[in-house]
Structure 1
């Protein structure tokens, strides 16, 4: 996974900030969609949409399809997590201006 792709997914597309917030939370521990929605103060359907995008792009994996499935970062995402943090920091700096 390259840095350009991460830039697009986080800073260059609608919903990127929420996807980044999800990744940050999943780095700390696994969550199901309902608990993640509460933690991030987002609608459950919004979380599900972003999880689908993250799964489709091999950044997040789940324990299954059921309501209570837990979500984790993939090994691929773990490998590029430092790049992700660089992008996130720069994104946040630009948002504050």
Structure 2
């Protein structure tokens, strides 16, 4: 499972690199801390990263994301609330049909996710598996 997740993280990194325009501006310290926290320091970081990668391609509603990611609707709903609260995604519409897309804030700082992916990959490779 860790091998699969590690490969997926590499794919995410390539997708992010292909999506953003070369940006010489470094993110401020608070932005960097927020992104690292949301995507590497919490249990749902990998799932939130998967959501963001899908939203890079096109907007989705919660139901579509749940189906695409093969996750429980309530779990996706939970992650979307966290992402919206932290200004990672923006919502158009209300309730069930609301469509989510990346926020302007995240689009400006998308390159910072590469650092979060590297940290998450290192973290996953350090975990010990006990049988």
* TM-aligned CA deviation for residue 96 of structure 1: 3.7
Of the three residues 22, 32, 46, the one matched with 1:17 is 46
CA deviations on 1:38-97 (whole Å, 9 max, x unpaired) are: 111110000000000000001101112221111000000001101113311331244245
Q: Which has the larger radius of gyration?
A: 2
TM-score when normalising by structure 1? 0.91
Q: How does 1:74-93 map to 2 (within 5 A)?
A: 74-93=103-122
- Corresponding residue SS for 2:46: helix
Trace 1:1-97 onto structure 2 (pairs within 5 A).
2-97=31-126
Structure 2 unaligned runs (5+)? 1-29, 127-131
Give me the whole-angstrom Cα distance separating, in 2, the residues matched to 1:32 and 1:96: 32
Give 1:5 shift: 1.3
Aligned residues: 97
With normalisation by structure 2, the TM-score equals 0.69
Q: Secondary structure at the match of 2:101?
A: strand
- Over aligned residue pairs, what C-alpha RMSD do you find? 1.3
